[in-house]
């Protein structure tokens, strides 16, 4: 005979699981729409450079990185060695390693290695920004639900753009490329307004990036290293000046 307490606990877990999936899909929908527009331009450029539509689609499905894919595409068109292409894309995408390390602290206890690898595959600037802004810990169901629509949008946009060929004019393609940055700002700004520590870290990152850009000795750094350097300095200052105080339940509160 089943116990009422266990049935109630099972029902609560099922409800929370469904809520995590629904929240993840809802949060991922605007990201997926934005990714569709940007990857549409990637598909256009890939086909114009001589790649087939299916090759371009597989690249997007297996990479999910805007800057890395566009940079790698230019190197492929320039017939650069495979080692140079690999090192360049790794350098540009190295910041995702830092984001993954940070995001791992918000994963719910019991998250296995395979689940962490799947979540790590889907770490992008926008997905990371949405994930870290969630209150408390996040589950695997939420993270994978959050990833689903952006992945479909990025891959589907690439395929659509590749099949469309060169129908759209250059001005429209340029506008599609700017859409990614506008979407990222729209995601980050609400969190910056609600949290002074986050606003402080963002301001430091902007200042460091500006100094790097204007310093002749640092302008030789590739874009990936510039982002990593700004991230390390800003996050280190944020950790020292506004550390997260954890209570007994493992939840964290920002120290203002």
Domain count, the chain: 2
The pLDDT value given to residue 246: 53
205 φ, ψ (degrees, to nearest 5) = -60, -40
Q: Are residues 172 and 201 both part of a single domain?
A: no
The pLDDT value given to residue 7: 47
Structure tokens at 160: 């659509």
Question: How many residues are listed for the chain in this entry?
Answer: 256
> For residues 151 and 64, is the Cβ–Cβ distance under 8 A?
yes
The pLDDT value given to residue 14: 47
Q: Are residues 79 and 165 both part of a single domain?
A: yes
The pLDDT value given to residue 155: 96
Last residue of a domain, one of 133, 153, 187: 187
Q: Are residues 205 and 174 both part of a single domain?
A: no
The pLDDT value given to residue 183: 59
Cβ–Cβ contacts within 10 Å for residue 237, how many?
A: 15
Q: Are residues 160 and 216 both part of a single domain?
A: no
Structural domain boundaries enclosing 215: 195-256
The pLDDT value given to residue 174: 64
Token pair 């939420």 is found at: 142
Q: Are residues 115 and 139 both part of a single domain?
A: yes
The pLDDT value given to residue 209: 83
The pLDDT value given to residue 156: 95
Q: Are residues 72 and 126 both part of a single domain?
A: yes
Q: Are residues 124 and 84 both part of a single domain?
A: yes
Q: Are residues 178 and 201 both part of a single domain?
A: no
Give CA–CA dist 224/121, Å, rounded: 18
Q: Are residues 213 and 170 both part of a single domain?
A: no
Last residue of a domain, one of 159, 187, 215: 187
3-state SS of the chain is CCCHHHHHHHHHHHHHHHHHHHHHHHHHHHHHHHHHHHHHHHHHHHHHCCCCHHHHHHHHHHHCCHHHHHHHHHHHHCCCCHHHHHHHHHHHCCHHHHHHHHHHHHECCCCCHHHHHHHHHCCCHHHHHHHHCCCCCECHHHHHHHHHHHHHHHHHHHHHHHHHCCCCCHHHHHHHHHHHHHHHHHHHHHHHHHCHHHHHHHHHHHHHHHHHHHCCCCCCCCHHHHHHHHHHHHHHHHHHHCCEEECCCCCEEECC
Instruction: Give 67's contacts (C-beta < 8 A, 6+ positions apart).
Output: 92, 93, 223, 224
Give CA–CA dist 171/155, Å, rounded: 22
Beta bridge partners of 138: 107
Last residue of a domain, one of 168, 187, 206: 187
Q: Are residues 168 and 225 both part of a single domain?
A: no
CA atoms within 13 A on the CB side of 131: 29
Q: Are residues 247 and 124 both part of a single domain?
A: no
Q: Are residues 129 and 243 both part of a single domain?
A: no
- Tens digit of pLDDT at every position of the chain (256 positions): 555 555 444 544 544 568 889 999 999 999 999 899 888 888 888 888 889 999 999 999 999 988 788 878 888 888 888 887 887 788 778 888 888 988 998 998 889 999 999 999 999 988 998 998 888 899 999 999 999 999 999 999 999 988 886 566 666 666 665 665 665 676 677 777 777 887 888 888 889 888 888 888 777 766 556 766 777 788 788 878 776 555 554 444 455 4
């Amino acid at each position: 005979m089943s116990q009422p307490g266990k049935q109630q606990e099972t029902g609560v877990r099922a409800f929370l699981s469904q809520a995590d999936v629904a929240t993840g899909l809802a949060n991922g929908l605007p990201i997926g729409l934005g990714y569709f527009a940007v990857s549409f331009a990637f598909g256009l450029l890939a086909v114009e450079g001589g790649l087939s539509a299916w090759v371009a689609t597989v690249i997007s499905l297996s990479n999910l990185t805007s800057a890395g894919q566009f940079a790698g595409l230019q190197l492929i068109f320039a017939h650069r060695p495979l080692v140079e292409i690999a090192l360049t894309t790794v350098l540009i995408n190295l910041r995702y390693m830092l984001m993954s390390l940070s995001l791992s602290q918000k994963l719910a206890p019991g998250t296995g290695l395979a689940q962490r690898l799947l979540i790590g595959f889907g770490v992008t600037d926008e997905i990371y920004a949405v994930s870290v802004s969630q209150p408390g810990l996040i589950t695997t169901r939420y993270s994978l639900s959050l990833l689903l629509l952006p992945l479909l949008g990025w891959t589907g946009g690439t395929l659509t753009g590749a099949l469309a060929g060169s129908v759209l004019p250059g001005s429209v393609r340029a506008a599609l490329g700017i859409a990614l940055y506008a979407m990222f700002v729209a995601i980050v700004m609400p969190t910056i307004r609600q949290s002074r520590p986050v606003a402080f870290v963002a301001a430091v990152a902007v200042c460091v990036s500006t100094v790097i850009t204007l310093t002749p000795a640092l302008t030789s750094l590739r874009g990936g290293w510039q982002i990593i350097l700004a991230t390390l300095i800003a996050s280190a200052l944020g950790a020292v000046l506004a550390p997260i105080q954890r209570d007994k339940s493992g939840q964290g509160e920002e120290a203002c």
